[in-house]
Chains A and B, each alone.
Chain A
């Protein structure tokens, strides 16, 4: 899932500027399950903004609504009325959600209430960790299901570097060394010979380095306009 964190209230306030009518839009998918931008958080942010703006002597009209998925037009259509009445939209979606609102309601100013952090998973209640960097050319089949692109600090393909110690990465004792994890896993599976092969330089053109990415699936397209 996409994991995000709320921005500090002070920053959100400054992003809203002097707009009077604020619509906080939560999202019911990834950011709900990581407790950053679901219905509950949208309601809390809305009430915090009401209180804060009142204390500042400039009370704002803040309402909130949460859609199933901010990243799909059909769900955004459902809030068209509320959006129309607001001066500014505070999106508690991920970066995709914020942009979907901007794209779908081009006449409306939208600001982000979250910092989108990474694609990952909850390790335990309240702890999330990155797992995928969306490089566009998955190599997990070579590394025992542990991604060195996302999880090695240097994205090494022929690790581990000399900074691996006691199972963690030298940049931070809280960061496990991805290559130690890979080594241990391949060792336990009797597949260490995989690590003797030199992995060639990666083709990064499938990653963000190749420019903004897009997938077109002709087999799924409903109607292609004739030129």
Chain B
């Protein structure tokens, strides 16, 4: 479906994610949020939940500007656990020196996939008085890491004194953010900068996403990069409404909100005090089941859209939901594609 992303048909990096995508499988990645502590066991616990149900695990980098364990450190733990990480790198906290230095280290620790983001503004997080960096933006970051891999140079143009870090490079797309008509073209800039794969913002409105993808196909972008549509299970009608009303660039159709409300119908019309703890637990469970089911259906619909190469599941602080979603969508077991030999990897 997607044209060869690598030169001469060889893998750029040979990561599992690249192999699965290159083999033409519908890829599945899942998000893992590191803890707001130094507890590495949290990563191991979440890794156990995701093992075998995705092709790579995407680890956020101080998401929403809240300090968490570093994406690279969490990624190194995943490598130890035998899972493949996609680390996120934002431009908010590091200048070009720090980014490159950290990426040299990330590669040395066995990390092979990288998602390049601008990063949420620090005013959203728990250190709003911090100084931000934004030395570069996400598009420049993609360009830099691609040149590190393919031209063997630092951003300043100097060559590496030894092996270069080789990452399968991703970027994000926000299909529904303003100005909507520019979004496919901004994606084109990321592809031109060298993005090998794209993760989109959460998709709930399939019709709106189809419009975006049609333009993406007209521009031929789906042949130059692998597009992973972002999906995420809703936990409650309140979460659905929050996504719709408060988060820029997310569209949640009323129909989905109504389905979530319907799931809680047996307990509707009762105030919080009238519900027993058992009631509340049962209602939360009913909502979660509906959220998972909606997510499964969204994946099935996304799979039908030409140019969608896979999905990225963002089950925020709910990694337990990933397996039932992937299973429900008929995407288990995950494919096993033989890794390139050392020589092939070196040639890649």
Which of A42-50, A52-60, A197-205 lies at the interface with chain B? A197-205
Task: State the CA gap A162–B90 with chains docked (Å).
Answer: 14
Q: Is A156 an interface residue (CB 8 A)?
A: yes
Q: Is the CB of B144 within 8 A of A201?
A: yes
Residue of B124, B172, B174, B193 with most partner-chain A CB within 10 A? B174
Chain A residues near B192 (CB, 8 Å)?
A: 198
Q: Is A180 an interface residue (CB 8 A)?
A: yes
Task: State the CA gap A154–B122 with chains docked (Å).
Answer: 10
Which of B10-18, B29-37, B176-184, B266-274 lies at the interface with chain A? B176-184
Chain A residues near B193 (CB, 8 Å)?
A: 198
Q: Is the CB of A183 within 8 A of B135?
A: no
A90 to chain B, nearest CB (A): 27
Chain A contact surface mostly: loop
Q: Is A9 an interface residue (CB 8 A)?
A: no
Could you give 10 example pairs across A and B, Cβ below 8 Å? A154-B92, A160-B178, A160-B179, A161-B174, A161-B177, A163-B249, A166-B178, A167-B178, A198-B192, A201-B136
Q: Is A115 an interface residue (CB 8 A)?
A: no
Q: Is the CB of B121 within 8 A of A171?
A: yes
Task: State the CA gap A163–B124 with chains docked (Å).
Answer: 12
CB neighbors of A among B211-235 (8 A): none
Chain B residues near A165 (CB, 8 Å)?
A: 177-178, 248-249
Chain B residues near A195 (CB, 8 Å)?
A: 182, 185
Of A159, A167, A172, the contact of B137 (CB 8 Å cutoff): A159
Q: Is the CB of B248 within 8 A of A170?
A: yes
B217 to chain A, nearest CB (A): 18
Chain B residues near A62 (CB, 8 Å)?
A: none
Q: Is B123 an interface residue (CB 8 A)?
A: yes
Chain B residues near A202 (CB, 8 Å)?
A: 135
Task: State the CA gap A184–B132 with chains docked (Å).
Answer: 27
Q: Is B96 an interface residue (CB 8 A)?
A: yes
Measured CB to CB, the nearest residue on chain A to B179 is A183
Q: Is A157 an interface residue (CB 8 A)?
A: yes
Which range holds the interface residue count of chain B?
Answer: 35 or more
Measured CB to CB, the nearest residue on chain B to A159 is B137
Q: Is A153 an interface residue (CB 8 A)?
A: yes
Of B132, B155, B177, the contact of A162 (CB 8 Å cutoff): B177
Task: State the CA gap A183–B185 with chains docked (Å).
Answer: 12
B221 to chain A, nearest CB (A): 13
Chain B residues near A160 (CB, 8 Å)?
A: 177-179, 182, 186
Chain B residues near A159 (CB, 8 Å)?
A: 137
Chain B residues near A177 (CB, 8 Å)?
A: 178
Q: Is the CB of A162 within 8 A of B249?
A: yes
Residue of B120, B124, B179 with most partner-chain A CB within 10 A? B179
Chain B residues near A157 (CB, 8 Å)?
A: 137, 140
Task: State the CA gap A195–B92 with chains docked (Å).
Answer: 22
Q: Is the CB of A170 within 8 A of B121?
A: yes
CB neighbors of B among A3-50 (8 A): none
A193-222 near B? 1/0 per residue, CB < 8 Å: 001101111101000000000000000000
Q: Is the CB of A162 within 8 A of B201?
A: yes
Chain B residues near A183 (CB, 8 Å)?
A: 179, 182
Residue of B120, B123, B137, B140 with most partner-chain A CB within 10 A? B137
Q: Is the CB of A163 within 8 A of B248?
A: yes
A201 to chain B, nearest CB (A): 5
A136-160 near B? 1/0 per residue, CB < 8 Å: 0000000000000000011111111
Task: State the CA gap A223–B266 with chains docked (Å).
Answer: 89
Q: Is the CB of A163 within 8 A of B121?
A: yes
Q: Is A68 an interface residue (CB 8 A)?
A: no
Q: Is the CB of A164 within 8 A of B134?
A: no
Measured CB to CB, the nearest residue on chain A to B200 is A162
B302 to chain A, nearest CB (A): 19
Q: Is the CB of B248 within 8 A of A201?
A: no
| A-B residue pairs, 10 tightest by C-beta | A162-B174, A165-B248, A158-B139, A162-B177, A156-B137, A164-B178, A201-B140, A154-B134, A162-B249, A170-B248
Task: State the CA gap A177–B182 with chains docked (Å).
Answer: 14
Q: Is the CB of B155 within 8 A of A201?
A: yes
Q: Is the CB of A158 within 8 A of B178?
A: no
Chain A residues near B201 (CB, 8 Å)?
A: 162
Q: Is the CB of A198 within 8 A of B143?
A: yes
Residue of A153, A154, A159 with most partner-chain B CB within 10 A? A154
Residue of A162, A196, A198, A202 with most partner-chain B CB within 10 A? A162
Chain B residues near A154 (CB, 8 Å)?
A: 91-92, 118-119, 121, 132, 134, 137
**A158 and B137 in contact, given A163-B249, A180-B178, A201-B144 (Cβ under 8 angstroms):** yes
